[in-house]
Amino acid sequence: MRTKTLLYLLMGGLLSAALVIGGCKPKKPVQARQIPLEDFFKNPEKARYQISPDGKHFSYMAPYEKRMNIFVQEIGKDNAVRLTAEKDRDISGYFWKNPTRIVYLKDTGGDENFKLYGVNIDGSNLQCFTDFPKVRTEIFDDLYDFPDEMIIGLNKRNPEVFDPYRLNIVTGKMTQLAENPGNIQGWILDHDGKLRAATAIVDGVNAQLLYREKETDKFKPILTTNFKESLSPLMFTFDNKNLFAVSNLGRDKSAVVIFDVANGKEIQMLYENKDYDVSDVTWSRLKKKLICANYESSKQERYYFDDEGKQFYDKIQKKLGNYTFNVTSLTRAEDKFMIRAYSDRSLGGYYVYDLAKDSLQKVADIAPWLKEDELAEMVPIEYTARDSVKIQGYLTLPNGYTMETAKNLPVVVNPHGGPWARDGWYFNPEIQFLANRGYAVLQMNFRGSTGYGRAFWEKSFKQWGKTMQDDITDGTQWLISKGIADAKKIAIYGGSYGGYATLQGLVREPDLYAAGVDYVGVSNLFTFMRTIPPYWKPMLDMMYEMVGNPKGDSLQFVATSPALNSDKIKTPLFVAQGKNDPRVNINESNQIVEALKKRSITVEYMVKDNEGHGFHNEENRFDFYRGMEGFLAKHLK
């Protein structure tokens, strides 16, 4: 029952001559127009569309007073109703609970203590259900078959753990279903809304699956594994007897299986990919069957469990052409579907697919001011690191360049956050902005990136700033060896773990990078481990195995904490930080900035008092990217 998302911090020798390049056909150059910065980073015109359960309305988020709020529009009508009026911060997420009521989450100033709200689709009966100070709300189950109820988690009794509550979203009444003994990380309900299973961490590093036949029974452990092995329950089977799960028990790549909860064993393997982890499944509530298993190679892929499911997706794909798409919501009758289509060069748009008519109608473009032919292609790449590990990633060249014509370009190396996450093929406004400004951008899924199997993931353990950093360095050197990069004009930029990798890159390779941009990054592993959010503490022993133990691995921490090795940095640095960041405390940025200022190293520091782990408010995004643009131009061009 491994939790690979444990440290999602939002945002994550000689090289072999072997190289795999995809999608590199020469194209006719398009004159590069400098697109206004705001066009990349302003709030979308309309986004996050969903269709109502009865198919009579659709909802979306759009700016109101520069913040993303919720609107509802009756299908066939031109006018929309604004349901919310948030002015201090964007709404974090929302969904339809029933045909007349929507629920949503919002925090304060980026503190990630989310509160849950409900509102009727005419804007009436707006109420906050979890208005408790310094308490975080999590959603455990939307109870699809119970229109007025849902299961939420609250850490108000103990900030380190979440207790499950059944919430009535009309009356606001909450009933506690169980008390978390201190180690449970997830609660699982069956299709009748009964709390029947749970996942837990025991002894700090072992994962456990708990089960009970009836809610009046006590939970009993049925499977205990080391956290490095993974059994991630998806849901109960449709007869409520077993579990559909994603599992790598006895295998390297995670597969879709049926797990016998009464006897604690896998009884059927439904799909396994030899190269990539399966992430989850898509299923039909109405027909009570699985449709497809989802996984990601260089792009999103699906394995279909039957021809009917494949035909459904093939019909939509044929209408969309080369765009990738996902179903974002659907009606209870499963006759109408909200579709989000996108590509590497387009934020795309939303469509309603009518199954009976086999029709696809566009609802909205997300960013109609951005033109695809002015933007850059994201090309899948692969290179071999110094210890023969294959590293996959993406290279984005300024529009008009190809792999054959790109020579001596200024480059931004962009390691992802996480670090147990991955970069994928989709529209990324940061990447497109940098490419539009003339930079080639290299992204790499260094060891530890998710989706490539257990062995690749485990190669990252206690390798922060070591072999994980080698993979980044080796990708940079590969780009130089291909003649694409101007060796004197390379910057490194990342957020969260990517910010840490930026700082560590400047420490370990002081002559490789001409500039660095650290966005909410860790600088001192000792202080980082002391300031994690309270609800990460039950997983602290796991973190010790994955990152390192401040006591047992103190020499390694000293060697791989950029703030403690700042004397090796001589490269100009730009640092951005949210004051309320609960994941990477502001002291992480303060330390590195103060250390470099003492040595008179060029350092620019931007702090936003109303932000947390990354800048969400539009005006703050503008400030950050405007500052980064000027900083990179000064030191790379």
Q: What pLDDT, on a 0 to 100 scale, did the predictor assign at position 637?
A: 77
Q: Provide the 3-class DSSP secondary structure of residue 364.
A: strand
Task: Name the catalytic one among 230, 346, 496, 561.
Answer: 496
Please give the average per-residue pLDDT across 238-251, as a whole number.
97
Q: 518, 561, 581, 589: which is the annotated catalytic residue?
A: 581
**Average pLDDT for 444-464:** 98
Cα pseudo-dihedral 164, 169, 171, 177, rounded to 10: -10
The span from the CA of 613 to the CA of 634, in Å, is 27
Rounded Cα distance, 470 and 508, in Å? 10
**SS3 state of residue 407:** coil
Tell me the C-alpha distance between 90 and 51, whole Å. 21
The average pLDDT across 85-99 equals: 95
* Mean pLDDT in residue range 337-360: 97
The percentage of residues in the chain with a pLDDT greater than 70, rounded to a whole number, is 95
What pLDDT sits at residue 14?
27
pLDDT > 80? residue 629 = yes
pLDDT at site 9: 31
> Average pLDDT for residues 238-250, to the nearest whole number?
97
**Region 163-184: what's the mean pLDDT?**
95
Q: Active-site residue among 460, 470, 471, 613?
A: 613
Q: What is the mean pLDDT of residues 365-373?
A: 95
Q: What is the pLDDT of residue 203?
A: 86
Say how far apart CA 556 and CA 560 lie, in whole Å. 6
Task: Judge whether residue 18 has pLDDT over 80.
Answer: no
Is residue 509 scored above 80 in pLDDT?
A: yes
Determine which of 3-17, 83-97, 342-356, 430-444 has the lowest per-residue pLDDT on average. 3-17
Residue 5: the pLDDT is 34
Question: Residues with Cβ < 8 Å from 633, sequence gap 6 or more?
Answer: 437
581 is catalytic: yes
Mean pLDDT of 478-503: 98
Does the annotation mark 496 as catalytic? Answer: yes
Q: Which two tokens stand for residue 540?
A: 């602290």
**Letter for the amino acid at 220?**
K
Q: How many helices and strands (H and E) does the chain possess? A: 11, 36
Q: In the predicted model, what is the mean pLDDT of residues 176-183?
A: 93
Instruction: Say if strands 80-82 and 67-74 run parallel, antiparallel, or are unpaired.
Output: antiparallel
List alpha helices for 247-321, DSSP H.
307-320
pTM: 0.91
* pLDDT for res 27: 43
Kindly write down the DSSP assignment for every residue of 157-209, as one continuous string.
S-TTS-EEEEEETTT--EEE-----S-EEEEEE-TTS-EEEEEEEETTTEEEE
For residues 546 and 457, give the distance between their C-alpha atoms in angstroms, rounded to a whole number. 10
SS3 356: coil
Residue showing tokens 């400004």: 437
Burial status of residue 233 (CB atoms within 10 A of its CB: 0-12, 13-18, 19 or more): buried
Q: Token digits for 10?
A: 């939002």
Dist. CA 619–CA 604, nearest whole Å: 19
Q: Which of 201-205, 493-497, 532-536 has the largest mean confidence?
A: 493-497
Question: For residue 182, what pLDDT is reported?
Answer: 92
The residue behind tokens 């939303």 is 350
Over range 70-80, report the average pLDDT.
94
Q: Is the peptide bond before 419 cis (omega within 30 degrees of 0)?
A: yes
CA–CA dist 572, 570 (Å, integer):
7
Give every strand in the sheet of 573-578, ordered side by side: 20-21, 378-384, 390-396, 440-445, 409-413, 485-495, 515-519, 573-578, 603-608
Instruction: Verify whether residue 613 is a known catalytic residue.
Output: yes
pLDDT at 10 over 60: no
Q: What value does the mean pLDDT take over residues 604-613?
A: 96
Q: How confident is the model at residue 451 (pLDDT cuts 50, 70, 90)?
A: very high
Which amino acid is residue 534, in one-letter code?
Answer: P
Lowest mean pLDDT, pick from 24-28, 60-64, 570-574: 24-28
Kindly tell me if the per-residue pLDDT of 164 is higher than 70.
Answer: yes
Torsions phi, psi of 427, nearest 5? -70, 125
Answer for the pair 450, 277: CB distance below 8 angstroms, yes or no: yes
- Map out the domains of the chain with their CATH numbers: 19-34+371-636 (3.40.50.1820), 45-182 (2.120.10.30)
Q: Which is more confidently placed, 15 or 180?
A: 180
Q: Return the C-alpha torsion angle 599, 600, 606, 607, nearest 10.
A: 40
